Amino acid sequence: MIVALIDSGFGLLPTAAWLRKLRPDVDLLLQLDPEGAPWGPKPQDWVVERVVSAGRTARDLGAEVVVLPCNTASVTALEHVRAELGAEVPVVGTVPAIKPAAAVCRSVAVWATAATTASSYQADLIARFGGDAKVTGVACHGLAEAVDLGDMAAVRASVADAAARTPADVEGVVLGCTHYPLIVDTIVAALPDGVRLFDSAQAVAAQTVRRMEALGGPATGDGTVRVYLSGRPGELPPGASAYEPGRILGAAGGAARRGDADLPGR
C-alpha cells in the first residue's frame, strides 16, 4: 500500500508523521514542490494544474490513496484531483478544525495564510461550523514560507504579529495551515496561558487510514518513504531536519534509498 501526500512544502510533514505512527507498515510518497512554492499567492488555475500534475505522478508511481495535507491545495484543487484520478484512487483533503474548536470555545481565531483567510471557502466553513462561537480569521503573513526556510527568527516575528492581532478573549486557535503544527511550541509561547490549539493533521491521517482499509485489498507495505521534488525523485530538503516529523521521515527515507532496488516503480 502506497499513500502519496502532496504539498508545496513542509506542510505535509505533520500528517505524514501521524500516518507513520498509525500505520508504520505503509509506504509513503512525499511530493513537495520547491520550484513552485508557495502556492497560496499563485493564480488558481496555476495551482490546479500543479496539484493535478502531482496527483498524476502519484498514480503513475503506484499510489493507492492520495492525500492533500494542504489547505490551499484542498480549497483550490481537491475536486479537480478527484476527477483526474477517478473513484478507484481515493483523494483525502484537509479542512481546518473550525467545527471542533467552535464546539468547546466561545471565541476562536483561525490562523491561516493570507489567501486562505480571504477565501470564500474559509468564510463558508465559519458560517457552517462556527455555531455560536465568535470566529475571527487571522492572516499569518509569511509564516508558512518561514517554516519552509527553517528561518526561526522570521517564524517568531510572524507568530508574534499574528498573536498581536488575535482577539484578547480568544479561547481557541485553529491552525488553518498545515505548516503551523511544526512550530506549535512557538505559537503556544506567544499566546496567553490556557488558549487551546486545534489542528487537523491527526484527523486527516485517521481518515486516510479509513480510506485505505475501505479499499479491501492488501494494506501493508515495507514502511518506506520516497520523496519527489517538483515531479522528480529527491530527498527531503535539509530544513526538514529542524522539525521532529522531518527527522523521523528523513531517516525512513534514507532507509528507503538504501533499498530502492526493491521499491515499486524502480
Query: What residues act catalytically?
Result: 70, 177
Taking the CA atoms of residue 66, residue 263, residue 1 and residue 8 in that order, the dihedral angle to the nearest 10 degrees is: -20
At residue 168, what is the residue type?
A: A
Distance CA 9, CA 55 (A): 15
- In the DSSP assignment, the letter for residue 264 is T
Phi-psi group of 26: left, alpha or beta (phi > 0 → left; psi -120 to 50 → alpha; rest → beta): beta
- Cell representation of residue 112: 491561516
Query: What are the distances in angstroms from CA 230 to CA 55, 182, 189, 215?
Result: 12, 22, 34, 28
CB neighbours (10 Å) of residue 226? 24
Task: Single out the residue of 142, 202, 194 nearest to residue 173, CA to CA.
Answer: 194
For residue 187, give every residue at least 6 positions away whose Cβ sits within 8 Å of its Cβ, in sequence order, or none.
111, 159, 163, 173, 175, 180, 197
Asked if 28 and 51 touch (Cβ cutoff 8 Å), the reply is no
Task: Single out the residue of 75, 65, 16, 20 nearest to residue 42, CA to CA.
Answer: 75
